[in-house]
Structure 1
Amino acid sequence: MILGSVLNPINSSMLAVALIPIGRDFGASPSQTAWLITGLYLATAVGQPVIGRLVDSFGPRLLYLTGTALVGVAGLIGVLAPELWVLIVSRVLLGFGTSAAYPASMFLLRSESDRTGLRSPSGVLAALSISNQVVSVLGPPLGGLLVGAGGWHLIFAVNVPLSVACLVLGTLYLPRASAVGTDLSAARSERIDVAGMALFAGTLTAFMFVLMGPEVTRLPLLVVLTAVGAAFVVRELRTASPFLDLRVLAGNLPLLTTYVRQFLAFVTSYAFMFGFTQWLEEGRSLSPSAAGMVLLPMSAAAILVTAITGRRAEVRGKLLAGSLVQVAGTALMLLIGPQTPIWALVLIATVIGVPQGLNGLANQNALYAQADPARMGSSAGLLRTFMYLGALAASAANAAFYRHGATTAGLHELAWLLVGVSAVFLVVTLADRSLRRVGHLGKATTPER
């Protein structure tokens, strides 16, 4: 399950150092190559809760195997892509293919907790978080090495052996639906809300085009977004078996707040990873491999922090520390210039790694305590949706500030935005009193209402 769950972050992070080479090969600007980021994140934002809902109904095995097979197909398409739009299609397929493993993992953990009566498995949750952190922050240096060794095509080719490994291990070890501890009959008896899923996808797609579209088209797009979003809300409130039970979700304020924190945390995380990396290559004139090595200490900081704090189920202290360091790290970006020494750039990357090691793990632990056990797959998928909504917003910000290239002025404008987002994250964390109770319950936790 860990191997499957890292497919998405490794594909997200490796691309950071390949955007400039891809743009050169296809004659595309940073605002055009930003669609490579957006395509994967949009597909993931839609796919995570949709596939999570199917995991709740049919168990993890079928969805896991189907998704990881699609990853291999997408990798081959990316290697052979003759034009930028084909590469974007490959990224969209990667987004859908990598959407199954994480909700399947959370489903299995919850079903084991229900079966055994054990409390929240903080150690296993930490292992999932550490593995995702590791590949997220090792992705840029690994991508830099691959690009240096054989060009950007290799960052797509690596998906083929990873897909094969997941298929072999999944076939051998994942339990069939009949062997899963949780009773799936009740979930299967509910009708799958296909219309709700379609409207959800339409709402997120319209949201993406509002973020990424030119200013002259924003008003019509906003009208479309409002109409499709309203139709989705009406549909989910009126149907007997909704894709997203908005009434239950609205009554679970702690869980909603966790989703908001996830969005804010990853706006900062992904905007820094892609914005800073592009500036290192274009504004600081580093090679892709050198830019990846500058980000390597960010990996060490995130892994170390997660390893130290991972087994503690308490989340409020992690979030407070993470938000404070995040504000400081984004503020340091304002001091960067073309002549900034490498050691200072490494220091800033290291500081940014600390909240990456704290915030994602804490939000994951909070979700485990706050979500309805019967909807754990879809709730976990929705947590990833808010993560990738943050990534979509980050991609749009990078495209807007780097419209004329990854300049130092654009990096500073991006930094001001991230300081503001980090400050809001801190305020939301301070205002959430429910966090005091998470991690202090003796048995498997139930949702807070």
Structure 2
Amino acid sequence: MTGILRRIRPGGANRPADGFDRRLLAPMMLGSVLNPVNSSIISVSLVPIGAAFGAPPSQTAWLISALYLATAIGQPVVGRLIDLFGPRRLFLAGTALTGVAGVVGMCAPSLGVLIAARVLLGFGTCSGYPAAMYLIRSEAGRTGQKSPAGVLTALAVTTQTIAVIGPSLGGLLIGVGGWRATLAVNIPLAAAGLYLGARRIPATPARRREPGHHPAGDLDLPGMGLFASALVCLLLFLMDPGGGTWYLPVLTVCAGVAFTWRELRARQPFIDVRVLGSNLPLVATYGRALLCFVVTYAFLYGYTQWTEEGRGLTASQAGLVQLPLFSVAILVSTLTGRRQAVRGKLLVGAAGQIGACALLFLLHADSPVWMLLAVVVVLGVPQGLNSLALQNSVYHQADADRMGSSAGLLRTFGYLGAIIASAANAAFFGHHIDTVGLHHLAWFMLAVSVLFLAVTVADRSLQAIGSAEPDRPRRTDR
């Protein structure tokens, strides 16, 4: 941990001696929102994009899956690079790629090019969140603060509840400049990120190395390649499980076995499977993230599309319906953020998801607007609690020297859940989004929510987070 702190410590008289460097907040927050805002803004764009290119929901679903496929692979890879080389270069490169993706998407002449732009967005937005978690852990060690709860809360509010602004922002942009404006918004965001990152994220001095040791020797490229291969096969199967792709699970298992074999023998493994295997609480947190995000994104995409096609709202109106979700989530995160305990948050969050799923069965094509709003108000409670609790769990459970890659893996499991949600939306809605499909989707989400609650109730290790015991950064002797 000392080495990490030494590598990221910026100079300058404005550097606070005993408090979190507030100059880092702006680039941290802006970099972290690039992915969630692109994840959610597309939800109100799917219908007009489908109309523009003559594509059914089963094809436009690839706009969701493409971003998550790239991000699920890229987050832990970029996170590991941040662990090794510091956040500045990775942050700037990713932000620049996000701007390029915005230009390509804005000018896309076909659905295929638009999907390619979403892949670029997925890779470009990979660096923001791992870089932020790396900086938070490093600042905590530098200042001696055992847990910067206020900063973690601000990051959770920014990265998770900002996703809820996406539909409202998307509806506004579509009303002003059409669906292409939802891609163009990345251009000014990337420009601001580049400016703030260059000005405020500290440069990373070269680390001391043994004579003859090249920096590339710290990169486990075979491990990264096998990890990506296993994940691509798995995600392609999840996107179309009934499409005759029976061989993909076989390839996933083969690549997974080869990846494990490689990581057990690598001098500097990409993912230390020994450490991960001995840290069952962290593994359980990743599993909860997957279940939680299945429900969150099934709501975000399925419910939003239903309000447009099944209920008959415009894209702008569908975006405005989501605003109470943002407001409630922000309020809940702010009120509970400084309490370090996570088990209570997860239990209430799981119960809230169950309640929101149950309310979907009451909706029909002629349901009044107040019922649509009631659903998102109830969902706002778990949205504010679960994201905060999952993030804080990783912060306390992960090895401090691998905070970037551990944070990236949290996002990977979250995006696995998002891809499962996208596949479920395509399966239950097919070529037409109606109330019957919404109710079938609700049964699926209800089952996942109950499983999320059961896994949380069974995990007693969560009681240790936020207890009276001293909070020491987790390290692994190597």
TM-score by length of 2: 0.90
- Note the C-alpha offset of 1:214: 5.7
Q: Post-superposition shift, 1:216?
A: 4.2
SS at match of 2:218: coil
CA shift, 1:274, in A, is 0.1
What is the correspondence of 1:47-86 to structure 2 with a 5 Å cutoff?
47-86=74-113
CA contact (8 A) 1:118 1:443 kept: no
Q: 2:84 touches 2:218 (CA, 8 Å); kept in 1?
A: no
Contact 1:113 1:444 in 2 (8 A): no
Do structure 1's residue 176 and structure 2's residue 209 form an aligned pair?
Answer: no
Hey, what does 2:364 align to over in structure 1?
A: 337
Q: For the residues of structure 2 that align with 1:43 and 1:128, how far apart are their CA atoms?
A: 22
- Equivalent of 2:169, from 126, 142, 147? 142
1:84-135 superposed Cα distances (whole Å, 9 cap, x missing partner): 0100010011011111011111111111222222111110000001112342
The 2-side partners of 1:63 and 1:177 are apart by: 11
Conservation of the 8 A alpha-carbon contact between 2:275 and 2:476 = no
Q: Is the 8 A contact 1:133 1:303 kept in 2?
A: no
Deviation at 1:142, TM superposition (A): 0.8
User: What residue number does 1:318 align with?
Assistant: 345
Cross-structure match for 1:235:
262
SS of residue in 1 equivalent to 2:219? coil
* Corresponding position: 1:116 with 2:143: yes
The CA distance in 2 between the partners of 1:21 and 1:189, in whole Å, is 45
Question: In structure 2, do the counterparts of structure 1 residues 432 and 448 end up closer, same or farther at CA, with 3 Å as the change threshold?
Answer: farther
Secondary structure of residue in 1 paired with 2:308: helix
Q: What is the identity, as a one-letter code, of the residue corresponding to 1:72?
A: G
Letter in 2 for 1:94: L
Distance 1:294 1:94 in 2: 26
For the pair 1:14 / 2:41, whether they are aligned, the reply is yes
SS of corresponding position for 1:218: coil
Moved more, 71-80 or 390-399: 390-399
Determine if the alignment matches structure 1 residue 254 to structure 2 residue 284: no
Q: How far does residue 447 in structure 1 lie from its aligned partner after superposition?
A: 5.8
Q: Paired residue for 1:207, among 234, 238, 255?
A: 234
Any residues of structure 2 matched to 1:367-378 within 5 Å, and which?
A: 367-378=394-405
Counterpart mapping for 1:278-297 below 5 A:
278-297=305-324
Aligned length: 446
The partner residue of 2:119 within 76, 92, 116 is 92
Measured after TM superposition, the shift of residue 448 of structure 1 is 9.8
8 Å contact from structure 1 (residues 57, 184) kept in 2: no
Q: Quote the Cα distance in structure 2 between the aligned partners of 1:362 and 1:448.
A: 23
Contact 1:120 1:445 in 2 (8 A): no
Segments of 5+ residues of structure 1 without an aligned counterpart are none
Name stretches of at least 5 consecutive residues in structure 2 with no aligned partner.
Answer: 1-27
Partner of 1:128: 155
Q: Which residue pairs with 2:25 in the alignment?
A: none
Equivalent residue of 2:246, what SS?
A: helix
Give the C-alpha shift of residue 229 in structure 1. Answer: 2.2
Say whether the 8 Å CA contact 2:134–2:404 is kept in structure 1. yes
Report the Cα distance in structure 2 between the residues aligned to 1:54 and 1:18, rounded to whole angstroms.
Answer: 33
The correspondence of residues 344-383 of structure 1 with structure 2, limited to 5 A, is 344-383=371-410
What does residue 222 of structure 1 align with? 249
RMSD (Å), alpha carbons: 1.7
Alpha-carbon spacing, 1:62–1:388, altered in 2? closer, same or farther (3 Å): same
Stretch deviating more after TM superposition (198-207 or 228-237) = 228-237
Distance in 2, Cα, partners of 1:352 & 1:203: 33
Instruction: Please point out which of 321, 326, 332 is paired with 1:299.
Output: 326
Would the aligned equivalents of 1:202 and 1:228 in 2 still touch at CA under 8 Å? Answer: yes
> SS of the counterpart of 2:244?
helix
